[in-house]
Structure 1
């Protein structure tokens, strides 16, 4: 391992600032971040520059949600004494690294990235793809290597991004003739992607099927009532289907009593368990999960200056490490320096 790169394992994670976070984020990454910050050096990036790649017509939304997402981070227990929370657009070294890395990847390779292909199709860009959006894998590589991260928590749909990051790392290392940058390992959460309350797709702010971390008790109740179960389970006495049943998916993700959930599944399959019983249990568990987050978030929101101080301090710390990486790359490539 190169002596130029700190050998201490480093985690990089973050979120696009397009809206407040929801239970899908909580299951997929937030609760992992809270646990990992105690044993790893962790950076959490408020990815406002990346959010702009498909929100350039509404930069105000991106700017406003920097604070909203930061509130969610702090409310769930991400501790700025243990985790560095920073703002992407305030780290110019990341933009410079992105520009350098784009010279080592082709447009065809960017377009073949499965994650990018899926996102382009989902957004209906056709050939009107924002260049910044297409170049996301290079920007992500800049983020990961900029923080010298070796562990990146991602969902399975993001694995191609990590793969392409490592391709760029190997290409740069071959170019300079030494191990200048380190490859990163993906950390996929045990719980898979949480579906939306409509059961038709992943939980998403833009599709209106998410339960925000700031949801009120009535919002939680209404969201659970929207969840479908088994359309053929017409009476409580009827045997029911567990697989694909959204209520059971959420119970698996949030109910701490695994034995009780297993018994509920068995009873549901046999017949004799009504959907409303399941939904009441789930609504109560989700409210127990969200209530302390909602209260802490409301408390933090009354003191935005303190939240801004956290972001300034974290971004200053992140500036040092990302500038160091940029200088390593510039020097390694032998670029002209004044």
Structure 2
């Protein structure tokens, strides 16, 4: 379930999300990420990117596989229903401004912020076969922050386990705005901007600002946000000044993103564990139907059912987890009754799951074949997305350079 945060300024109601190019995706990716992206692209201004630089933080010794993985993954996105007309699809490394913002933000990032990110040591433990004592791996959250802040994304889809990464981004935005948002004559410019709203609205803004700053009145803050969002006759720069002035800071150059909490994927692997390539328990999104059927037919079941006549317990069977995703209440009731009384065999139980998985994959595979047959079309779609993303990135980096005193004229 997604939780939409409403106190983000409307001009920043933009969603940014990315995925590392690990090759063709599996059903875990589809149910955990892609189906959510397909929904979000119709509700928000979505920027979806291939995080190829992020892939290098852990797979820098395998450059030969990255390009193939990128195009395989993009075809999976398109086949799953991501529409380039509704969402901008781009490749991270095609937008060099990401690297510049990463460098500039690294200048103000305390080392301790990175060392305390929970996944820093967790990943080092999990990936002991790789040398991760690198600057790039430590700075991963800064690069991720650059990706988000570059597009002034107000919302970032994350699971509960990723909130710590997003908090680094929020802290960096806060620190940047504190250091560089205090432009000369800021208060005078903010007061002048409020006057442009008209006498009545300017008076209301000042009253709400006073109530928030003197009394910590959250309702006043929310009302002031709504007031600013409704103003049509002030510039984006003035609006950002007024948001910053309202909260007692400077101009908000890089807005703090909010988490868009997403339900954790419940897609199990063939062995009942989380579906993951590292566990070797996956079904690829575009896997051959015969291979899919064979994998599902040979899935392990309740170990208590040694013989066909032995009763079983669905709650101890990996196949039951697939039923919870793919079949309806009536089918699940039939399975539970048949399993616990030995009225049906394990292959009988698996048949509805096999049929449902194949039915889900068929239209995806059909769309994928069309894109595979026309690689030029795929590359053109991505090139258009990269150009649109770079237009936004150029504007942000110019603003950042100016704030940091790097806009030499």
Normalised TM-score (structure 1) = 0.89
**Which residue number in structure 2 is paired with residue 45 of structure 1?**
49
**Which residue number in structure 1 is paired with residue 270 of structure 2?**
197
Out of 86, 100, 109, the residue aligned to residue 96 of structure 1 is 100
Contact (CA 8 Å) 2:17, 2:157: kept in 1 or not?
Answer: yes
Moved more, 289-298 or 101-110: 101-110
**Which residue number in structure 2 is paired with residue 107 of structure 1?**
111
Instruction: Provide Cα deviations, 1:90-135, integer angstroms capped at 9, x if missing partner.
Output: 1111111111222233333323212233222111168742321221
Q: How does 1:184-223 map to 2 (within 5 A)?
A: 184-200=257-273, 202-223=274-295
Gaps of 5+ in 1: none
- Number of residue equivalences: 332
Q: How does 1:19-168 map to 2 (within 5 A)?
A: 19-124=23-128, 128-168=132-172
Name the CA distance, whole Å, in 2 between partners of 1:182 and 1:26: 30
Are 2:245 and 1:241 equivalent residues in the alignment? no
Moved more, 214-223 or 123-132: 123-132
Kindly state the Cα deviation for residue 160 of structure 1 after the two structures are TM-superposed: 1.8
Out of 369, 384, 392, the residue aligned to residue 313 of structure 1 is 384
Gaps of 5+ in 2: 1-8, 181-249
Root-mean-square deviation over aligned CA pairs = 2.3
Kindly state the Cα deviation for residue 212 of structure 1 after the two structures are TM-superposed: 1.1
Q: How does 1:221-260 map to 2 (within 5 A)?
A: 221-235=293-307, 238-243=310-315, 245-255=317-327, 257-260=328-331
Contact (CA 8 Å) 2:48, 2:90: kept in 1 or not?
Answer: yes
Contact (CA 8 Å) 1:236, 1:274: kept in 2 or not?
Answer: yes
Contact (CA 8 Å) 2:91, 2:382: kept in 1 or not?
Answer: yes
Distance 1:322 1:267, change over 3 A: farther
Contact (CA 8 Å) 1:6, 1:148: kept in 2 or not?
Answer: no
Contact (CA 8 Å) 2:21, 2:66: kept in 1 or not?
Answer: yes
Name the CA distance, whole Å, in 2 between partners of 1:188 and 1:270: 41
Moved more, 127-136 or 158-167: 127-136
Are 2:338 and 1:274 equivalent residues in the alignment? no
Distance 1:118 1:261, change over 3 A: farther
Kindly state the Cα deviation for residue 209 of structure 1 after the two structures are TM-superposed: 2.1
Contact (CA 8 Å) 1:232, 1:240: kept in 2 or not?
Answer: yes
Instruction: Provide Cα deviations, 1:292-320, integer angstroms capped at 9, x if missing partner.
Output: 11121112101000000001000000001
SS of 2:349's partner is helix
Normalised TM-score (structure 2) = 0.75
Distance 1:111 1:275, change over 3 A: farther
Contact (CA 8 Å) 1:191, 1:253: kept in 2 or not?
Answer: no
Are 2:366 and 1:295 equivalent residues in the alignment? yes
Distance 1:273 1:147, change over 3 A: farther
Moved more, 25-34 or 269-278: 269-278
Name the CA distance, whole Å, in 1 between partners of 2:288 and 2:152: 39
**Larger Rg: 1 or 2?**
2
